[in-house]
Structure 1
Amino acid sequence: MSSWPHDWEGQPDRSAYTTRDSIDYIWYGLGLPADARDFLEVNLPEEDEKALPSSFKIGHLAQASICLSALSAALFHSQVNQSCEPRRISVPLKHAAVEFRSEHHYLLDGKPRMSSWGPLGGLHKTADGHVRVHDNFLNHRKAACDLLGLDVETVTREEFAQKILQWKALELEKAGMDSGAVIFALRSYQEWEESAPGKHIMKGYSFPVRVHRTGPQVGIPRSVAAHIPRNADRLLRGVRVLELSRVIAAPVAGKTLAAHGADILWVTSPNLPSLPDSDIDVSRGKRTTQLDLDTAEGVKALHALAQGADVFLQSYRPGSLAARGFSARELAESNPGIIYASLSAWDDGYGEGPWSSNRGFDSMVQNASGMNVSEADHFGDPAIPSRVLPVQVLDHAAGYLLATGINAALYRRATEGGSWEVSVSLAGVMKYLRSLEQYAGRDGFECEPLGDILQYLETRETDFGNLSAVKHSASVEGKEPGWDVMPKKLGSDEAKWL
């Protein structure tokens, strides 16, 4: 059983990569200095061991991506302070693995979270295979029901499944894309690689994080801006991040930047549904305000905030914010030096490819790209056509890699000037994870238990009650990460910078 086809000429084989190899590869690929590694020490307890029951090297990617996010923040801090003070960054493997599932581990007043999965979604049989339906958001659930001729208010799961059984998988996938529903056919690796989006993504992506300068050197490097203090208590203290995001990847990026001291202003829409049970975990460290971009006042307020931001972080469907006047080009014109960071499902960073503007979520990328079929094959039960991974690995890895790319852009803006764009996609992360190869045969499903999860939690008061949630797994000598702001009701803060 091969997880990486032999006919992919020129594709990288990272099957022998250690966790440190991945850290080095991405660090140098982002154009970050080699000599910084002389004073930024990396400590990886339990590195290269198995952490979670999967044929995929999830622990490897968790430890590497979280370490990179802290390492790159430390680099920016050293640039701000013009200092090469030695600093150790530690990321224990088991803690990193727990943090890759943080949205499922928190307790509110001692009680576990309720499931955010919708009543109709998941894997369903079709006339010729299977599809996976995403219905966590009510608008997506309604779109799927409308497509199938069902009433979203009264439909049962059995009725929903019977309607899907009348469709062919690829035809339903296409109809879903045309109607606003989120439905993807279950594919094997071979089926994915033979499809148009699979060919584009698997042959086109070369690196999981895209960082590039979009304008010439301008003005004074932002590292000396008045709102970014020297000798601060945390690595990113004072950095202003305007976040417009939805679950889970981009919010993880914002939460990670917040852990290192960045001022995150999370902007949500009063017109869109939320997932409060998921939002609680990823909203730690963030102030929250609401703006209605369907109004002139809301657009004006967001433009005013963008004028004072260091980073504009967004994960809406590609092109949707640009259509409202918030493209990378327009924001760079009004605020030279801004970093525009985007998270998407399928976009390659160039807006190309047959699915580049399509909606997508971690579970959909796993499903469509062959990961779930391969995981089931490795598990070895022929009765199971699809096996989901034990964590939302693409979401979490994408979030930490996006934070890494933002930190790299902050550093390079300080040293080179210019405005910058950063982009990460779930599909690009999927490709990198696959390039690490899977454990052979049925190996990987047996691993040491993570132990008592409570040891990784901290308890704080919030607007919703006492929250016990996973602490950040990266430790930074002398600049320990942590969250100053605890989850609060959406729209609790004014739309202004501190």
Structure 2
Amino acid sequence: MTDTADHTASSRDAGARLLARVWSEIGGDPDRLVGVAPPPVAPPLPSRLATGSLAWAGVAAATLAAGRDARRLDPDRIALAYRSDRVLTVDGSTPPVWSPLSGFWRTVDGWIRTHGNYPHHAAALCAGLALDPSADAEVVRSVLQDLHTDDAVAAISATGGLAVPVRREDRVVDAALRRTPVVAVERIDVDAEPRAIARSDDDLPLRGIRILDLTRVIAGPVATRTLALFGADVLRLDPPGLPEPEWQHLDTGHGKRSALLDARSDRMHDLLADADVVVLGYRPAAIQRLGLAPDALARRHPGIIVAQLSAWGTDDPHRAGFDSLVQAESGIALAESSDGSTPAALPAQALDHTAGYLLAAAIASALDHRRTRGGSWVVRTSLRRAAAELLGMPRRRMPAAETRVDATPHVAGFRVGGSDIVTARPAIPGFEFRPPRPWASDQPRW
């Protein structure tokens, strides 16, 4: 562990190395890295782990992929973009972000972390604990404190709820993960011809690109929001009957259209036939069941780019997960603990946001590869892989003090569906967001 000046220097070096590695993995032009270095002060995301440096590297990769100058990145703007849920307001009010049933809970022999932000996950959690669906946090707490960790996780998981044990980091596992790509880019079809991107006069590098967004929550929507920022036509598709929390859509829906469609419908492949990119946020096992596996898509739609995002990676294809759960099980929550035993969270959903920016950078790079070399391409990353990267970066003995950032120059206002919303502005210089559209207000067509 390091502190103050030593930590700042080593953290900056780690951020620079991460950016260089990612840029090489996605096949970026090395000349674009010349002169790019982390700022003297990292984005103010106070934590023991190098969250600010991780955030800078993620945003810098997406900035370079858009052909913009990463030396212009503003650390305060990055920090607010990563904590965008804290600056979001709807008609002047800050929406509740966390369900009462999402959080850390003490058990007989440790802690677990649950996620109940979606109503169906909260109901499944209660069912696993044999509680009434209307049970409040105090009732859940009283039940969990009498259960062992493994028993509590097994009971909740058996009914489709989401819970993980809070574990200490496993340095051997993390080191092995760090030997794999942070974000993998692979050519999967050699026969597809090169396909040019129609350039426009408005300096938007992805104008004319069509992207199907089959993601939810934060990481995938951050990736596709970034691609929409670059000018792509992004159509987000959600399954009927599974509403997205309004705040979440308003926070990450900028510049996209939003429609409902069952992924198993024939209409899905009609849309895929005219898409350049499909971004998948389903569990890897579900992707196979839905007929959306990258190899199958490349055979049916030559030249398509398939972006695959998951919580735990392809080695754990059946597991669902969220940033908070990956933080807990990977060891981040205890690495951030103030007393070594009570878990704590990062100052932002940093795994989500970083994975989103890295995925956007890899997609933009894959589009460039397709333009010059042809082929279909698959890009992959996971929240767990981002966690391993963060756990391998320098850390402090104590987190830096919270720095108050004036949000005024870093937010924008929009009128959406009859409401006035305020959201964070883009962390990437040279672009401004188009407003989100109301969720599910569009038709599933290009």
Deviation at 1:202, TM superposition (A): 4.5
Return the alpha-carbon distance in structure 1 between the equivalents of residues 358 and 109 of structure 2: 37
Q: Return the match for 1:209 from 162, 167, 183.
A: 183
Amino acid at match of 1:283: G
**TM-superposed deviation, 1:201:** 5.6
Q: 1:453 aligns with which of 407, 416, 420?
A: 407
> 2:14–2:393: 8 Å Cα contact kept in structure 1?
no
Equivalence for 1:110: 92
What do you get for the CA RMSD once the two structures are aligned? 2.2
Q: 2:137 aligns with which of 141, 150, 157?
A: 157
> Is 1:241 aligned to residue 211 of structure 2?
yes
Residues 290-329 of structure 1 aligned to structure 2 (within 5 Å): 290-293=260-263, 299-329=265-295
Q: Give 1:229-268 correspondences, 5 Å limit.
A: 229-268=199-238
**Aligned-residue offset at 1:48:** 4.2
Give the corresponding residue for 1:436: 393
1:494 maps to a residue whose letter is Q
1:290 and 1:490 in contact (8 A); partners too: no
Question: CA shift at 1:229, angstroms?
Answer: 3.0
Tell me, in whole angstroms, the C-alpha distance in 1 between the residues paired with 2:416 and 2:76: 27
Deviation at 1:200, TM superposition (A): 5.2
Taking the aligned partners of 1:360 and 1:47, their CA distance within structure 2 comes to 34
How does 1:402-413 map onto structure 2 within 5 Å? 402-413=359-370
Structure 2 matches for 1:17-32, cutoff 5 A?
17-32=13-28
Structure 1 window deviating more from structure 2 (175-184 vs 309-318): it is 175-184
Q: Does the Cα contact within 8 Å between 1:464 and 1:488 map onto a contact in 2?
A: no
Q: Is the 8 A contact 2:185 2:379 kept in 1?
A: yes
Q: TM-score, normalised by structure 2?
A: 0.92
- 8 Å contact from structure 1 (residues 89, 474) kept in 2: no
Distance 1:156 1:19, change over 3 A: closer
Report the counterpart of residue 90 of structure 1 in structure 2: 72
Which residue of the other structure, out of 422, 428, 433, is the alignment partner of 1:474? 428
Cα distance in 2 for residues equivalent to 1:71 and 1:217: 29
Cα drift, residue 452 of structure 1:
1.3
8 A contact 2:59–2:357 mirrored in 1: yes
- Tell me, in whole angstroms, the C-alpha distance in 2 between the residues paired with 1:74 and 1:161: 50
Query: What are structure 2's unaligned runs of at least 5 residues?
Result: 3-9
The answer on whether the counterparts of 1:70 and 1:89 sit within 8 Å (CA) in structure 2 is no
Decide whether aligned partners of structure 1 residues 88 and 104 sit closer, same or farther in structure 2, where only a CA change above 3 A counts: closer
Q: Does 1:392 align with 2:349?
A: yes
| Map of 1:144 onto structure 2 | 125
> 367-376 vs 230-239, which deviates more?
230-239
Equivalent of residue 134 in structure 1, options 86, 95, 115: 115
Give the aligned partner of residue 187 of structure 1.
Answer: 167
**Which one of the candidate residues 184, 207, 222 is aligned to 2:195?**
222
Distance 1:436 1:33, change over 3 A: same
CA distance in 1, matches of 2:15, 2:286: 36
Gaps of 5+ in 1: 3-13, 76-86, 194-198
Q: Give the drift of 1:120.
A: 2.1
Equivalent position SS for 2:379: strand
Q: Structure 1 residues 201 and 446, CA, compared in 2 at 3 Å: closer, same or farther? A: closer
| Alpha-carbon spacing, 1:102–1:428, altered in 2? closer, same or farther (3 Å) | same
Counterpart-to-counterpart distance in 2, 1:42 and 1:92? 13
Report how far residue 72 of structure 1 moved.
0.9
Instruction: State the identity %.
Output: 31
In 2: Cα distance, 1:30 partner to 1:245 partner: 21
| C-alpha separation in 1, matches of 2:202 and 2:192 | 25
Instruction: For 2:151 and 2:136, locate their aligned partners in 1 and report how far apart those are by CA, in whole Å.
Output: 23
Q: Find the counterpart in structure 1 of residue 56 from structure 2.
A: 63
Distance change >3 Å, CA 58–CA 464, structure 1 → 2: farther
Measured in 1, the distance between the counterparts of 2:70 and 2:154 equals 49
The aligned residue for residue 441 of structure 2 is 492
CA distance in 2, matches of 1:201, 1:223: 39
Q: Secondary structure at the match of 1:396?
A: helix
Structure 1 residue aligned with 2:331: 370
- Secondary structure of the structure 2 residue equivalent to 1:319: helix
Aligned AA (2:272): A
Cα separation, 2, equivalents of 1:127 and 1:60: 36
For residues 191 and 30 of structure 2, the distance between their equivalents in structure 1, rounded to whole angstroms, comes to 23
> Which consecutive aligned stretches of 4+ in structure 1 deviate over 6 angstroms post-superposition?
none
Corresponding letter in the other structure for 1:314: L
Any idea what the Cα deviations from partners look like across 1:377-413, whole Å, max 9, x if unmatched? xx3x46x611111111111111101111111211111
Compared CA separation, residues 166 and 107, structure 1 to 2 (3 A) = same
Counting matched residue pairs gives 438
CA distance in 2, matches of 1:340, 1:482: 26
SS in 2 for 1:131: strand
Tell me by how many angstroms 1:42 deviates. 4.2
TM-score after normalising by structure 1: 0.83
Paired residues for 1:413-424 under 5 Å: 413-424=370-381
Which whole-Å CA distance do the structure 1 matches of 2:138 and 2:329 have between them? 23
Other structure's SS at 2:333 match: helix
Aligned equivalent of 2:6: none
Distance 1:400 1:489 in 2: 23
* Residues 30-58 of structure 1 deviation map (CA, whole Å, 9 limit, x = unaligned): 222223446xx6476x4443612211112
Is 1:337 aligned with 2:303?
Answer: yes
Once residues 181 and 290 of structure 2 are traced to their aligned partners in structure 1, the CA distance between those partners, rounded to angstroms, is: 29
CA contact (8 A) 2:307 2:359 kept: yes
CA deviation map 1:237-294 (0-9, x unaligned): 1111100111110000011111111111000112213211111110111011111346
Q: CA separation in 2, counterparts of 1:487 and 1:27?
A: 30
Q: Find the aligned partners of 2:248 and 2:380 in 1 and give their Cα distance.
A: 23
